[in-house]
Structure 1
Amino acid sequence: MKFTMKALLGAAAVLASAAVAQAQTTLKWAHAYETSEPFHTESVWAAEEIAKRTDGRYKIDVYPASQLGKEADINQGLKLGTVDIIISGSSFAAREFKPIGVTYYPYIFRDPAHLIAYTKSDVFKQLAAGYEEASGNHITAVTYYGTRHTTANKEIKTCADMQGLKIRVPDVPAYLAMPRACGANTTPIAFAEVYLALQNGTVEAQENPLTAIEAKKFFEVQKNIILTGHIVDHLNTVVSKTTWASLSDEDKAIFSEVMLEAAERGTKIVEEREAALVEKFKADGLTVSEVDKEDFLKNVLEKSPLEDYGYRKEDWEAIRAVQ
């Protein structure tokens, strides 16, 4: 039986294609954010980039907007094997390893640049290693989510101005630290219901990054935007214990490199959007005001001490010292 060279080459191509298909690993990357947000667009970019840099050995499908479950569910999914990679806040990582939650303590970060510098520091490596030891999961990157500010029915300049203020705050311990230290009455209302609660006076204030204030149109029912800047919020990119262990050292390096690049890209987008929003809110006639942050910090340290939340003072000091 005779085979032409063309037939032989064709057969070889089919076999090579089958080998690649057989060697390809499909992974699930999940998060709770909308498709328009950088946490999604840059995850999609990273998935495509990992496929390129590994010659197609990995196919990563990204599931946005809680398609595979809410944030608590996808964190649990890392253990159950229902997801391989997630984007999630440190408040969830702190459920496995409490000290990493110190990064939500008010005024620990000066600004986004300080947050990013922290992610390259020894104290970050120690906290990430503590989380990995407790959970088995590996943090590959940190993306800036936004700085949390306050909107209210009145102007606020000092911590004392919040005395008795009815404010909606997520039911996360470190998020409650600043308002409670200032004597505010905190109310945990579901995020989807905050606009109506502000409109009908159930609460008189709320706190969120500027991007969320704009997206949820809180500025329509609150004319004072107070740049309290109490939490420089962030999200971790986390790979499950099983998936991370299955990667070769070469692939671990590729995943880490790409995910860090994606985080840097996402951080830049968020920073640019926030800067533009300050100017937009002012142009729209809203009152945008600064506060005495040292006054707020002094009250937080005195009335909501680190130790109350299970955080370590040495971690706080090391992070504050990062330049």
Structure 2
Amino acid sequence: MVTSTRRAALSLAVLMALPFTVLSAAQAQTKLKWAHVYETSEPFHTQSVWAAQEIAKRTSGRYQIDVFPASQLGKEADINQGLTLGTVDMIISGSSFAARSYPPIGVTYYPYIFRDPQHLLAYAKSDVFKTLAKGYEEKTGNHIVALTYYGMRHTTSNKPIQTCADMKGLKIRVPDAPAYLAMPKACGANPTPIAFAEVYLALQNGTVDAQENPLTTIEAKKFFEVQKQIVLTGHIIDSLNTIISKSLWAKLSPEDRQIFTEVTQEAAARSTTEIQAKEKELVEFFRQKGLTVTEVDKAVFKDAVMKAVTPESAGYRKSDWEAIQALQ
């Protein structure tokens, strides 16, 4: 029989142990920041939130990941730098920004390198992608865990465009990365780098006359409200990388690395499916909004690019370009 004195002693021991139990649990949970520049309505965000919750679930709550959308933690250049500075742990960002640290990986932004979205998705599973991702990791320490289809980039404008020559003198916003300059420059346009968060205002006040982005982004960022024409140039088939910082990747156990990889790749696949379905609907959506949607001969634009800016002159390795071209 346990005496009252014994019971009191046991109760006291339990109470004394509680703070240490709570402290141990608190220490076991790691809080992480995941940043991107996209709107909360876009699948890049909704699927990141799903992935954060799924990682927490699969690791029994050892990781709490807070997702910061819409440039809350900085513009795209800032969050890429944040991986090194330690201000963010994970990001979603294009290879054009990764190319600032490791130029070869930017080859995927060379205009018309991909035939269609399926070609891009084949690249995501290819040896050339693995080689480029490894080169980026060796240079930065940051690890690319997943690739998401971002969309086929098209041009919007307030003037009609039927041919490459129609773009001569056009002030067009492009991201601040060399690969985006190739098509506009080849067609005689005046490309102007402006931060993503500032594009709507730049179009509205006439700082630029045009911009280029996938249809899903044109809708999400409401660019169709301040543009009259959508020209289906399809000059870049774009993708985004999910990247884990060097410091976080080094801390993850092999088991946790597998969980982060599997979940982010599943989130990327879910986003890709959503985006491809949405793209099919948006041409009619924009027409109903009163915009003129124009089909163009992409071969004419491609020929202009190839004559004006070869992959090598843009700073990319010809062998990478050829390897991607050869993918089926």
TM-score (norm 1): 0.89
Out of 71, 74, 96, the residue aligned to residue 101 of structure 2 is: 96
Q: Specify the alignment match of 2:3 in structure 1.
A: none
Out of 252, 256, 272, the residue aligned to residue 257 of structure 2 is: 252
Matches within 5 A, 1:154-169: 154-169=159-174
Preserved contact between residue 39 and residue 221 of structure 2 (Cα < 8 Å): no
Distance 2:97 2:324 in 1: 20
Distance 1:81 1:274 in 2: 35
Post-superposition offset of 1:41: 1.2
Post-superposition offset of 1:99: 0.2
Q: Specify the alignment match of 1:23 in structure 2.
A: 28
Q: Specify the alignment match of 1:179 in structure 2.
A: 184
Out of 20, 27, 37, the residue aligned to residue 32 of structure 1 is: 37
Out of 89, 110, 116, the residue aligned to residue 111 of structure 1 is: 116
Out of 45, 52, 72, the residue aligned to residue 50 of structure 2 is: 45
Out of 149, 161, 177, the residue aligned to residue 154 of structure 2 is: 149
Distance 2:223 2:49 in 1: 29
Q: Specify the alignment match of 1:296 in structure 2.
A: 301
1:182-229 C-alpha deviation (Å, 9 max, x unpaired): 122223345555456545655443222212322344334433211001
Give the RMSD, CA atoms, in angstroms: 2.7
The answer to whether 1:207 aligns with 2:199 is: no
Q: Specify the alignment match of 1:315 in structure 2.
A: 320
Unaligned runs of at least 5 residues, structure 2: 1-5
Post-superposition offset of 1:4: 12
Out of 247, 269, 280, the residue aligned to residue 242 of structure 1 is: 247
Q: How many residues align?
A: 323
Q: Which stretch of structure 1 is more off in the superposition, 46-55 or 183-192?
A: 183-192
Q: Which stretch of structure 1 is more off in the superposition, 285-294 or 36-45?
A: 285-294
Q: Quickly say closer, same or farther: Cα 1:166–1:241, change in 2 above 3 A.
A: closer
Secondary structure of 1:143's aligned partner: strand
Post-superposition offset of 1:100: 0.2
1:26-62 C-alpha deviation (Å, 9 max, x unpaired): 2221222222221111111111111111122222122
The answer to whether 1:61 aligns with 2:61 is: no
Post-superposition offset of 1:7: 11
Distance 1:307 1:70 in 2: 29
Post-superposition offset of 1:318: 1.1
> Letter of the aligned partner of 2:180 in structure 1?
Y
Secondary structure of 1:50's aligned partner: helix
The answer to whether 1:120 aligns with 2:134 is: no
Distance 1:103 1:184 in 2: 22
Q: Which stretch of structure 1 is more off in the superposition, 9-18 or 184-193?
A: 9-18
Post-superposition offset of 1:299: 1.2
Q: Which stretch of structure 1 is more off in the superposition, 261-270 or 154-163?
A: 154-163
Q: Specify the alignment match of 1:232 in structure 2.
A: 237
Q: Specify the alignment match of 1:272 in structure 2.
A: 277
Secondary structure of 1:87's aligned partner: strand
Out of 81, 84, 92, the residue aligned to residue 79 of structure 1 is: 84
Post-superposition offset of 1:10: 10
1:70-129 C-alpha deviation (Å, 9 max, x unpaired): 222222221122221111111111011000011111111222222222111000000000
Secondary structure of 2:313's aligned partner: helix
Q: Which stretch of structure 1 is more off in the superposition, 234-243 or 26-35?
A: 26-35
Distance 1:31 1:319 in 2: 27
Distance 1:14 1:202 in 2: 59
TM-score (norm 2): 0.88
Post-superposition offset of 1:157: 2.9
Out of 136, 140, 143, the residue aligned to residue 138 of structure 1 is: 143
Post-superposition offset of 1:8: 10
Distance 1:322 1:193 in 2: 37
Distance 1:190 1:84 in 2: 22
> Letter of the aligned partner of 2:220 in structure 1?
A
Give me the identity figure in percent.
70
Q: Quickly say closer, same or farther: Cα 1:317–1:59, change in 2 above 3 A.
A: same
Distance 1:190 1:138 in 2: 25
Q: Quickly say closer, same or farther: Cα 1:197–1:7, change in 2 above 3 A.
A: closer
